[in-house]
């Protein structure tokens, strides 16, 4: 199994428009962060997590030419507004791409991107049109998607809920304020855990760095990677202050899970 981080930044991305801070001006390529997304591969199966606005660039940079399904964590713009780029997977395909998420996420996405899920209007010969079918998942209920075992994990994000996912031995959680006991129970035993970590200080809708480290210790994965990082966090500085089992992720990082 292989996990590829397509993007590891917040909704602003890094560098942030109009900002001249040290991280935004950094020469360290690990400090350049597109919006959050990932791909998990197992054998020939590829599952995409979220469709960030830079999806086309991310897929090209990581030489990902196709995916078999999409898991959405929630419907915020930085996680969904690259959905049109799935049209690249449509050439020669005989079936629409299957996308999955919580009921409210699917409702919002199918409303905002109605043309993607329109099964009546067919593309004209010689033209392209992104095509997808939507499927609702329930928290804690394991399903098989593209040959991989997937269990949605419900976590709070302010007043809304977000779905993290356990896919085999990988746990992927972004935009969480905390891991409730039910979520921790599902994730316990994973070999690799991904957690969002926004600031060093507390935030009302996201884990802070210290909260993410504490959460990682409770889950007990062999390796934990922090994502959804802001321009207030320099990769090298964060790496130096974290425990050995916790590392900051960066765009393009590939993690192999035996």
Residue 131's CATH number: 3.60.15.10
**Strand pairing category for 148-157 and 223-227:** unpaired
Tokens of 224: 């934990």
**Strand pairing category for 170-172 and 192-196:** parallel
The total number of structural domains that make up the chain: 1
Q: Helix/strand/coil (H, E, C) string of 137-179?
A: CCCCCCEEECCEEEEEEEEEECCEEEEEEEECCEEECCCCCCC
pTM for this entry = 0.95
Residue 185: domain span: 2-256
In order along its 258 residues, the chain shows pLDDT tens digits of 999 999 999 999 999 999 999 999 999 999 999 999 999 999 999 999 999 999 999 999 999 999 999 999 999 999 999 999 998 886 555 689 999 999 999 999 999 999 999 988 877 777 778 899 999 999 999 999 999 999 999 999 999 999 999 999 999 999 999 999 999 999 999 999 999 999 999 999 999 999 999 999 999 999 999 999 999 999 999 999 999 999 999 999 999 998
Tokens of 247: 């590392």
């Amino acid at each position: 199994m292989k996990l590829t981080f397509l993007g590891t930044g917040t909704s602003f991305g890094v560098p942030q428009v109009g900002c001249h801070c040290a991280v935004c001006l950094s020469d360290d390529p690990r400090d350049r962060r597109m919006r959050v997304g990932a791909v998990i591969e197992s054998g020939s199966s590829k599952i995409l997590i979220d469709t960030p606005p830079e999806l086309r660039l991310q897929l090209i940079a990581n030489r990902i030419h196709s995916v078999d399904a999409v898991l959405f964590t929630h419907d915020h713009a930085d996680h969904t507004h690259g959905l049109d780029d799935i049209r690249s997977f449509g050439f020669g395909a005989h079936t629409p791409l299957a996308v999955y998420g919580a009921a409210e996420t699917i409702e919002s996405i199918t409303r905002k991107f109605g043309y993607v899920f329109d099964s009546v209007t067919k593309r004209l010969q010689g033209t392209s049109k992104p095509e997808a079918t939507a499927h609702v998942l329930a928290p804690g209920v394991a399903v098989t998607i593209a040959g991989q075992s997937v269990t949605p994990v419900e976590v709070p994000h302010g007043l809304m809920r977000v779905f993290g996912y356990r896919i085999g031995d990988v746990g992927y959680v972004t935009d969480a304020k905390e891991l409730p006991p039910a979520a921790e129970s599902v994730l316990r035993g994973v070999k690799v855990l991904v957690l969002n970590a926004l600031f060093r200080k507390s935030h009302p809708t996201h884990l802070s760095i210290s909260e993410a480290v504490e959460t990682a210790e409770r889950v007990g994965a062999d390796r934990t990677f922090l994502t959804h990082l802001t321009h207030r966090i320099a990769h090298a500085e964060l790496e130096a202050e974290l425990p050995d089992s916790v590392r900051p992720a960066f765009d393009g990082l590939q993690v192999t899970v035996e």
